[in-house]
């Protein structure tokens, strides 16, 4: 399995200046290649990545001696990335508009987030340092924690810090989760995750939502307001951006980086804990884009990082020989009573405000999140041939057999599009 490990760098001021020149060279090569591609297209020629790269090598040899001060990977990989961008764009043009993900390549501009790539034969790792061509050894904050074959690396600048992202073909040496263990995970905005490893609501575990965006939103708004006013004054006076404006933009970038790091840390801790303890993990197939269209919930929903949690669960479960089961998007996990199986729980918008509800058939009181997690777990206990994303329980009262150690619990299911 191919994984990426991001390591913080600790360069000296001279080394940081060299890394900035390498990023600038990569950006210049990409923009030059895009302009040459457009010129060849208008002239009736047939551009390609190999043609652009040959012309770039001839051009830099004659006109750009300063481009040889940094590694050749910076400009070479930038031209190859341009070819990949055009291939993705042309391939997407054959699809319907709603299914397209790639757009026409655009020119890059100097910003606070820049990067350049290193090929496998152009860098070396030695414990707490990395060797970069034309620069030498640069200190790293930690060692490479993934064992495997190195495939390449990317040096990037983000949030005022330099990072090295190493691509590794990892060796399958991860510990396996206990066989036969199943859990249901209910994701939410108030409580990030409610985990049910048994059929008892008392044993359900909850993970608090740190809400980093809500905590840092005030500081981000103030910094954005200052930068906007400073840009407006500079434009009104007809002058360029000052050094102070760059410092404020860097401070804003650090705030956004801190917000993203808090969210990623919570997601990594949750997914590692789940994949180490449980072989089968059942979550809902949430429509995050649809939920984000509700302006009153968009901030809270996007602050949780549901998509990142899902992505990490998939590859970490595969590393430990586990599986992730996705319940149907219309599966009423909150509305089903985990004791009698009746569909008597809160409906629609009521689910957003009700934390506990009482079943009208059996009279048992349930917590909304813990009850949903138990229902998701029972979906994972069903037989493999019926544990599919388009299968949901019948929306009617049905007795659920008591789970036993020898035989997993099964549910009555049917295929449907709506509940």
Q: What pLDDT, in 10s, does the model give residues 39-58?
A: 999 999 999 999 999 999 99
Secondary structure (DSSP) of 65-124: GGGGGS-HHHHHHHHHHHHHHHHHHHHHTTS-GGG------------S-EEEEE-GGG-E
Same domain, 298 and 159: no
Same domain, 143 and 113: yes
Give the closest residue to 144 by CA, choosing from 316, 7, 315, 8.
7
Report the pLDDT value the prediction gives residue 405, as an integer from 0 to 100.
33
Same domain, 144 and 198: no
Report the pLDDT value the prediction gives residue 366, as an integer from 0 to 100.
87
Report the pLDDT value the prediction gives residue 409, as an integer from 0 to 100.
35
Instruction: Say if 371 falls within a structural domain.
Output: yes
Report the pLDDT value the prediction gives residue 263, as an integer from 0 to 100.
93
Structural domain containing residue 151? 2-170
The 8-class DSSP code of residue 175 comes to P
Q: Which of 170, 194, 217 is the last residue of a domain?
A: 170
The 8-class DSSP code of residue 140 comes to B
Q: How many domains does the chain have?
A: 2
Instruction: Say if 54 falls within a structural domain.
Output: yes
Same domain, 194 and 156: no
Q: Which of 145, 170, 195 is the last residue of a domain?
A: 170
> Which residues, other chains included, contact 241 with Cβ-Cβ below 8 Å and sequence gap of 6+?
230, 231, 234
Report the pLDDT value the prediction gives residue 350, as an integer from 0 to 100.
64
Same domain, 11 and 67: yes
Report the pLDDT value the prediction gives residue 239, as an integer from 0 to 100.
85
Output the pTM of the full model: 0.82
Same domain, 82 and 127: yes
Same domain, 326 and 293: yes
Instruction: Say if 87 falls within a structural domain.
Output: yes
Q: Which residues of the chain have pLDDT under 50?
A: 385-419
Same domain, 21 and 118: yes
């Amino acid at each position: 399995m191919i994984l990426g490990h991001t390591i913080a760098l600790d360069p000296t001021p001279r080394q940081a200046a060299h890394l900035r020149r390498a990023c600038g060279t990569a950006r210049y090569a990409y923009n030059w290649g895009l302009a040459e591609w457009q010129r060849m297209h208008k002239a009736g020629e047939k551009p390609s990545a190999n043609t652009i790269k040959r012309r770039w090598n001839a051009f830099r040899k004659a006109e750009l001696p300063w481009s040889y001060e940094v590694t050749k990977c910076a400009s070479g990989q930038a031209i190859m990335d341009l070819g990949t961008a055009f291939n993705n764009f042309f391939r997407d043009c054959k699809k319907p508009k709603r299914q397209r993900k790639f757009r026409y390549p655009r020119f890059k501009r100097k910003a606070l987030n820049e990067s350049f790539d290193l090929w496998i034969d152009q860098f070396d790792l030695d414990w707490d340092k990395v060797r970069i061509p034309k620069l030498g050894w640069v200190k790293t904050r930690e060692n490479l924690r993934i064992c495997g074959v190195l495939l390449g690396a990317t040096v990037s600048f983000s949030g005022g810090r330099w990072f090295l992202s190493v691509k590794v073909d990892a060796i399958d040496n991860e510990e396996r989760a206990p066989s036969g263990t199943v859990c249901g995970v209910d994701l939410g905005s108030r409580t990030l995750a409610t985990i049910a490893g048994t059929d008892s609501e008392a044993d359900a575990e909850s993970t608090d939502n740190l809400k980093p965006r809500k905590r840092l939103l005030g500081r981000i708004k103030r910094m954005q307001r200052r930068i906007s006013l400073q840009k407006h004054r500079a434009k009104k006076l007809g002058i360029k951006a000052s050094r102070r404006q760059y410092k404020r933009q860097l401070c804003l970038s650090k705030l956004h980086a801190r917000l993203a790091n808090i969210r990623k840390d919570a997601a990594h801790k949750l997914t590692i804990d789940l994949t180490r303890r449980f072989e089968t993990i059942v979550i809902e197939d949430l429509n995050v884009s649809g939920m984000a269209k509700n302006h009153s919930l968009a901030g809270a929903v996007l602050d949780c990082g549901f998509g990142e949690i899902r992505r990490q669960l998939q590859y970490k479960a595969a590393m430990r020989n586990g599986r992730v089961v996705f319940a149907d998007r219309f599966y009423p996990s909150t509305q089903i009573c985990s004791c009698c199986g009746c569909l008597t729980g809160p409906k629609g918008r009521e689910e957003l405000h009700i934390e506990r509800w009482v079943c009208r058939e059996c009279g048992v009181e349930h917590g909304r999140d813990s009850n949903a997690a138990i229902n998701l777990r029972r979906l994972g206990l069903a037989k493999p041939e019926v544990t599919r994303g388009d299968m949901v329980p019948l929306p009617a009262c049905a007795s659920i057999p008591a789970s036993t150690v020898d035989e997993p619990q099964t549910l009555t299911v049917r295929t449907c599009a709506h509940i």
